Every structure is written in C-alpha cells, then in structure tokens.
Amino acid sequence: ADEVFDYRFLPARPEGPGFALVLLHGTGGDEHSLVPIGEAVAPGAALLSPRGQVLEQGQPRFFRRFAEGVLDADDLRRRAGELAAFVTRAAVRHGLGETPRIALGYSNGANIAAATLLLHPAAFAGAVLLRPMQLPLGQDEAGRLAGQPLLILAGRRDAIVPAGHPEALRDFLVRAGAEVELRWLPGGHGLAEEELAIVADWLRALS
Ligand code: MLT
C-alpha cells in the first residue's frame, strides 16, 4: 500500500501502448470507477488509479471545495503536490521506469490533473481532461510545460462547469506551454459513450 493514497495498479500487457494511464475519478468515485474506461481507451496500458483522499459527505474527491464549483485553492495546491509525489513513488514501485504517464481525469479528477500538471509539470507527459473547470490558480504560479499534449472534452449542456470555463482553462494551459485541443460534445457533465472513441483516437496518435 501507499502511505497517502489507496489505489489500484494494473500492469501493462504486451499489446499495450507505450504509455501508462493515471486514472483520476470524479466526486463520489473511487479507484475502480475509471478502470473500465482506461481499458476501453488504451487496451493493455498500465493503469494507475488512486482514490481521492478527501471525503465530502462520504464521497471521495481529490481536494476540498467550499461549495459546488467553488474550489479551495490552498487545498488544491497541497493535494496536487501529494498527487505528483504519489505518481513518482508508484512509478518506481511498479517498475514503470521512463514510461510516459498520461493523466485521464473526469470532473474533480480532471481538475486535479490540470492543477498537478501546472504546478508540477514533470508529473504527467500529457492529459485527457473530461469536463474540467477553470482553476483558482494564478498564471504566475504555473510551472513551464514542455509542450505536453492535452485533450479537453467539454459538454455544451454541462450544468456544473460554468460557461466560458473550458476556453479559459485552455488559454491558461496554452500560456503555460501546453499543446491543447478543446473539443465540444453535445451533452452535459456525464460521460458519453461517444467520447470513448475520441479519447482512444487521440491517445493512439500519441504513441
Ligand atoms: C470540483 O469540485 O472539482 C468540481 O466542482 C467538479 C466536481 O467534482 O463536481
């Protein structure tokens, strides 16, 4: 076990791609929630899937918030540091060596993925951010990203992510040096079957 995170690790299979996926669930999920999605979008990839250690009325998440959509910036910074340290530890423990780590985060997990990348650019070689929000971080505290490829999937009818946030997050990440593709889906905050193919294609182009 890890000293900070409960997690699941599934080793790579021979047919897998040349990267590992770090799965970051949404509020109320756990280390099992995104494993089927990871398997679907990158068959045979090593999967590292931690459970967020903050509980909100019994629901795991990766950092605190004051209310829905009102994120606790100090806690976000602290937990992003813990997540960056965890992925480095786990990569050593599971022999991932130099295998690039791609974050795949949904909702609260997408927000911690983006914050971790901005504050600790070496944590991930790229990321898929499903329904992220703009982060309460200053551009001045963002580290320098080395052109990491990022895919943001936003929902046209998302009732949780306020209007304008996906574009604002994209611009923030681009200014930090990332290569960001923002794509819009017709639906809301929930994951849609159709996006799995989009994510799978985008990941395939990476390897
Ligand atoms: C967050 O708190 O990160 C966002 O409100 C997304 C969520 O978890 O619902």
Q: What pLDDT digit, counting tens, does each position of 16-59 carry?
A: 999 999 999 999 999 999 999 999 999 999 999 999 999 999 99
Ligand 1 neighbour 15 (Cβ under 6 A): no
- Alpha-carbon torsion (56, 59, 60, 65), positive or negative: negative
List residues with catalytic annotation. Answer: 107, 158, 189
Give pLDDT tens digits for 65-76: 999 989 999 999
Residue 207 has pLDDT above 80, yes or no: no
**What's the rounded mean pLDDT across residues 125-151?**
97
User: What would the pLDDT profile of 94-129 be if each residue is shown by its tens digit?
Assistant: 999 999 999 999 999 999 999 999 999 999 999 999
Identify the CATH class of 7-206.
alpha beta
Predicted ipTM of the assembly: 0.89
Q: Give the tens place of pLDDT for each residue, 148-193.
A: 999 999 999 999 999 999 999 999 999 999 999 999 999 999 999 9
Query: Would the CB of 134 count as within 6 Å of ligand 1?
Result: no
How far away, in angstroms, is 120 Cα from ligand 1 center? Answer: 21
Ligand 1 within 6 A of CB of 160: yes
SS3 62: coil
- Is the pLDDT at 2 greater than 90? The verdict is no
In the numeric block, which tokens belong to residue 183? 């794509």
Residue 131 CA, closest ligand 1 atom number: 6
Burial of 94 (0-12, 13-18, 19+ CB in 10 A): middle
Q: Is the pLDDT of residue 1 over 80?
A: no
For 174, other C-beta atoms within 10 Å of its C-beta total: 14
Q: Is 25 in the pocket of ligand 1 (CB under 6 A)?
A: no
